[in-house]
C-alpha cells in the first residue's frame, strides 16, 4: 500500500562503507517514527513500525519518508499534529564483523528532496535557539497568576485518559465510566458511549467539571475499518 495521495516525501539514504583497505562492506538502516498518526483526509493510520532496509553489499540503504512539518495529520486523540521526528539506527558489516553507529534523530522539512544521513550529526536533536520575545501578560484573557494547565479545559477534555484517576468501568472492552480529577483538584465524572460496531471503541463521551460544567465529545464518524474520519470539536456547557 502506498502513502495517501498528497503526502509529500523525502529520500533518506546512507551510503555503503568501504574499509581502509578498499574492501566492500554492507550498510543496513532502521528508521523509527516518533509517533503514530492518522492521515486526516483519508483516515489512513500511519503506524510507528520500524522501517528496515537491508540492501546488497556496496548498495546505499534508502527509504522515502513523509516530511515532518506538513499539515494534514492528526494524533489518535484527533488533534492536528506536525513536527514529529525519526530516529535512524545504522549498522555497517562485512563477513565476521559488524559496527553499530550512534543513533541519529532528524526531521525532514517540506521542500527537501533527499537527505544523506552521513551528513547529519549523531545523537538526539537539540531544541532550536529562540530569539527573546515579549513577556506574556495574559492567557485567554486571564491575568495575574495563571495556571496554563487549567487555562483551557477544552484542550484537557480532548484527552480524558489524562484526567481519569479512579477505577475504569469497561463495556465490551470500551471505557464507559470513571472518576476524573482536574489539575486544580476539582473532581468530575467521565461517561463514554461505546461504538455499536467496533468493540473497544468509544464514539462519544462527556466529562463533568464539578457540578458547574460539562464537556462533551459529540459522536465521531468512522469508516468501514473503524478509523475516525470526522471528530467534532469538544463543546462546553455551564450548568
Cβ pair 53, 101 in contact under 8 A: no
Cell output for 75: 494524533
Strand partners for 168: 178
Q: Is residue 111 part of a domain?
A: yes
| Count of domains for the chain | 2
pLDDT at site 149: 47
Contact by Cβ (8 Å): 194, 172: yes
Q: Name the burial class of residue 68, with classes exposed (0-12), middle (13-18) and buried (19+) by CB atoms within 10 angstroms of its CB.
A: buried
Same domain? For 60 and 159 the reply is no
Are residues 28 and 85 located together in one domain of the fold? yes
> For residue 34, what is its C-alpha cell?
516518533
Give me the CATH number covering residue 58: 2.60.40
Residue-by-residue DSSP string for 154-186: HHHHT-GGGTEEEEEEEETTEEEEEEEE-TTS-
| pLDDT recorded at residue 172 | 84
**What's the pLDDT band for 228 if we cut at 50, 70, 90?**
confident
pLDDT band at 104 (very low <50, low <70, confident <90, very high): confident
Q: What is the domain range of residue 173?
A: 149-238
Q: Which helix (H) or strand (E) holds 153?
A: helix 153-157
Q: What is the pLDDT of residue 148?
A: 47
Which among 103, 119, 135 is the end of a domain? 119
Amino acid at each position: 500500500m502506498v502513502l495517501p495521495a498528497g503526502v509529500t516525501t523525502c529520500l533518506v539514504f546512507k551510503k555503503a562503507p568501504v574499509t581502509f583497505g578498499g574492501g566492500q562492506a554492507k550498510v543496513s538502516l532502521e528508521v523509527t517514527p516518533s509517533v503514530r498518526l492518522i492521515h486526516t483526509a483519508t483516515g489512513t493510520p500511519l503506524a510507528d513500525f520500524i522501517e528496515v532496509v537491508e540492501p546488497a553489499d556496496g548498495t546505499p540503504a534508502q527509504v522515502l519518508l513523509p516530511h515532518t512539518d506538513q499539515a494534514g495529520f492528526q494524533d489518535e486523540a484527533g488533534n492536528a499534529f506536525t513536527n514529529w521526528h525519526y530516529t535512524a539506527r545504522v549498522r555497517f558489516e562485512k563477513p565476521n564483523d559488524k559496527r553499530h553507529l550512534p543513533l541519529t534523530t532528524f526531521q525532514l522539512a517540506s521542500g527537501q528532496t533527499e537527505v544523506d544521513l552521513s551528513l547529519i550529526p549523531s545523537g538526539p536533536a537539540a531544541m532550536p535557539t529562540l530569539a527573546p520575545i515579549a513577556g506574556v501578560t495574559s492567557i485567554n484573557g486571564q491575568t495575574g497568576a495563571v495556571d496554563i494547565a487549567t487555562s483551557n479545559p477544552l484542550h484537557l477534555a480532548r484527552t480524558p485518559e489524562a484526567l481519569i484517576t479512579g477505577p475504569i468501568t469497561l463495556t465490551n472492552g470500551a471505557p464507559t465510566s470513571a472518576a476524573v480529577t482536574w489539575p486544580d483538584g476539582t473532581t468530575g465524572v467521565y461517561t463514554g458511549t461505546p461504538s455499536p460496531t467496533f468493540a473497544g471503541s468509544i464514539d462519544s463521551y462527556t466529562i463533568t467539571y464539578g457540578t458547574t460544567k460539562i464537556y462533551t465529545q459529540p459522536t465521531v464518524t468512522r469508516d468501514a475499518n473503524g478509523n475516525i474520519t470526522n471528530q467534532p470539536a469538544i463543546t462546553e456547557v455551564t450548568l
